[in-house]
Amino acid sequence: MPFPNTKYMGSKQAILSFITDTLSDIEFDTALDAFSGSGCVGYAIKEMGKRVISNDHMRFAYHIAKATIENNSTKLSPHDTDQLLKKNRKAKHFIRSTFKGLYFSDEDNSFLDNTVANIEELSPVKKSLALASLCRACMKKRPRGIFTFTGNKGFDGRKDLKMSMKEQFLDAISLFNNAVFSNVLRNKAYCLDVFDIPNKAIDLVYIDTPYVSSHSDCDYTRRYHFVEGLCSYWRDAEIQEHTTTKKIKSYPTDFKVAKTAEDAFRKLFEYFRDSKIVVSYGSNGIPNKKRMVDILKEYKKKVHVEEISHTYCFGNQGHKKGNKNNSVKEYLFVGI
């Protein structure tokens, strides 16, 4: 089935066949995608006919997983779409006033305010479909899909940037509707700290954490704060008013600090020691390949590494094009 493609930091969409080929050699029925991100890996495992439990602490990632992985049959109907587009008298003007002139036009900001109000009237699964679609629309309307800068920097003649937010939203609804399918299993999506996920009766845990690198940070909240806040309409998000981008406070994690990363992985492997463990990782990560193997061997009798060359397309600014820091070996550490 077609999974909606969106530029997303660290997305594994380009190397999915490498991942699924590796997983196909492992015996398992239930898999946990512990840090689901774009959702493409969990979705691919669902396509393999496995029961998938998806988790991410970011709300927008959770809604993508609920819409495409947990959801086996529900779609947004033409009537639902009409209701989402109708004028809502209860709509507030938070986005238009708070983010005026930062990312989108007044017209697009007003569309977002109105659409969020209409989304509140939907059932939970349809709400996730609509929010996933709205987040995709926002990311497609931004150069590189991120919110670390304001104004028209990076704007060019690309169709995505010329389309209205409404047009992007309708396009996204169609894409997410087309991605809905059933694998006849009870899949589940969570938005929890990974250590709050029950660790029993999980055959395999796929781990793709944010990880610290000498070449870049792994602060997903900084890059995607707007769509993260959008999913709750900033009700419980702390906007840092002193920042130009009006970003929200980042989630703390030991994985993005070099001096705490090893212990963070050790704690994670300990928690899931009763499951088969597959870790997706890059050659520019800290700790390095040897240390990761050594740590995993503390909890698993058999550990081997699969690898493939990969170039991340995320750094597409002029000074990063051709930058060898974007070319890495992508590893899969497999612990049985």
Q: Where are the domains of the chain?
A: 13-335
For position 223, what pLDDT does the model report? 95
Q: Which of 125-128's residues contact partners 24+ apart within 8 Å by CB, and which partners?
A: 125/66, 125/67, 125/70, 125/71, 125/74, 126/74, 126/76, 126/80, 127/63, 128/62, 128/63, 128/64, 128/66, 128/67, 128/71, 128/189
pLDDT along the chain (336 residues), means of 10: 83 95 98 97 98 97 98 98 98 98 97 98 98 97 94 83 96 98 98 95 96 76 97 95 96 88 97 98 94 98 95 49 65 98
Question: In this predicted structure, what is the pLDDT of residue 104?
Answer: 97
CA distance 316 to 334: 31
SS3 of residue 254 by DSSP: helix
What's 239's DSSP letter? B
The single-letter DSSP state of residue 249 is P
What lies within 8 Å, CB to CB, of 326 at 6+ separation is 311, 312, 313, 314, 315, 320
pLDDT recorded at residue 274: 98
The whole-angstrom separation of Cα 133 and Cα 145 is 14
Q: How many other C-beta atoms can be found within 10 angstroms of the C-beta atom of residue 289?
A: 16
Identify the pLDDT of residue 76: 98
- Cβ density class 113-152: b for 16+ within 10 Å, e for less: bbbbbbbeebeebbbbbbbbbbbbbbbbbbbbbbbeeeee
Question: Whose CA is closest to 3, among 27, 38, 28?
Answer: 38
Would you give the DSSP letter of residue 151?
Answer: T
